[in-house]
């Protein structure tokens, strides 16, 4: 704005009391406009700070998402390694048990053979042909029994392996389902909490914008009102155009002494 005319500048156009009132009016308008501009600057700085805070919150959210993803991957790797170790231990225990069964059966077979050989030696002199036939039948029966027993062992091993694979698969599936459900619930809760915070922030920003708009409209109305009052003022154009030095030279000496 231009410089406000002082009372001694308006002495030639208005009476002293009206000039003082006009001076006070101009000073009040300038003070209110300066205060309004300062408040606008403060609100703008507050909005900029809130935008920076929103950016920081967005960065924190991205880091949290990355941390959650890394923790899930670590948990998956640990569970997979644990399941592999359990499967290996189960397979090792199964192989050890089968080796023990095979050794027991081999020992029993060796004892049976020893007994058969002693019986053959004892009855060799009495009935060689009968002994040979009996030995042949016995050997056939033993081979058949061993074949049946071997088939039975193979079936047991196959069933045990299938059962162990099914158990491991079921455990792995249940663990994956539980982890997926927990992660989904956690993500849903966090997303709901963040959405509520964002909604509150949006409402606060909208309220601030409405208040700023109302303040702007009020200031514009004050400015328009000041312009109308200035246009309606009886001050002459010559007085408005005078500089401070020119106005002082035009004012009589007694008025200068009082000011």
Answer whether residue 9 shows pLDDT above 60: no
Answer whether residue 122 shows pLDDT above 70: yes
| Structure token pair of residue 163 | 């059962």
pTM score: 0.24
Q: Where are the domains of the chain?
A: 7-258
In whole angstroms, how far apart are CA 19 and each of 195, 220, 222, 258? Answer: 60, 26, 21, 14
Full DSSP string of 81-97:
HHHHHHHHHHHHHHHHH
Task: Please choose, from the candidates 220, 191, 215, 193, the residue with its C-alpha nearest in 3D space to the C-alpha of residue 65.
Answer: 191
| 8-state DSSP, 5 | P
Provide mean pLDDT across the span 89-117. Answer: 87
Write the pLDDT tens digit of every residue in 173-186: 887 777 777 777 78
Answer whether residue 84 shows pLDDT above 60: yes
Helix axes 128-232, 16-124, angle to 10 degrees: 180
Specify the pLDDT at position 144: 84
Specify the pLDDT at position 99: 87
């Amino acid at each position: 704005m231009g410089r406000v005319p002082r009372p001694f500048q308006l002495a030639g156009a208005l009476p002293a009391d009206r000039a003082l009132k006009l001076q006070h009016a101009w000073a009040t308008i300038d003070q209110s406009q300066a205060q309004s501009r300062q408040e606008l600057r403060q609100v703008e700085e507050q909005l900029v700070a809130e935008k920076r805070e929103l950016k920081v919150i967005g960065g924190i959210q991205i880091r949290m998402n990355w941390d959650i993803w890394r923790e899930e991957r670590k948990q998956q790797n640990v569970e997979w390694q644990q399941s592999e170790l359990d499967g290996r231990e189960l397979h090792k225990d199964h192989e050890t048990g089968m080796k023990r069964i095979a050794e027991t059966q081999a020992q029993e077979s060796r004892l049976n053979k020893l007994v058969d050989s002693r019986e053959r030696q004892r009855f060799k002199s009495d009935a060689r042909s009968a002994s040979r036939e009996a030995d042949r039948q016995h050997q056939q029966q033993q081979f058949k029994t061993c074949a049946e027993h071997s088939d039975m062992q193979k079936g047991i091993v196959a069933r045990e392996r299938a059962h162990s694979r099914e158990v491991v698969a079921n455990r792995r599936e249940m663990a994956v389902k539980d982890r997926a459900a927990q992660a989904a619930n956690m993500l849903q809760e966090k997303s709901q909490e963040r959405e509520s915070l964002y909604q509150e922030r949006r409402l606060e920003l909208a309220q601030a914008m409405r208040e700023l708009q109302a303040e702007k409209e009020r200031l514009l109305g004050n400015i328009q009102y000041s312009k109308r009052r200035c246009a309606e003022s009886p001050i002459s154009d010559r007085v408005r155009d005078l500089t401070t030095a020119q106005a002082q030279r035009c004012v009589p000496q007694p008025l200068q002494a009082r000011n």
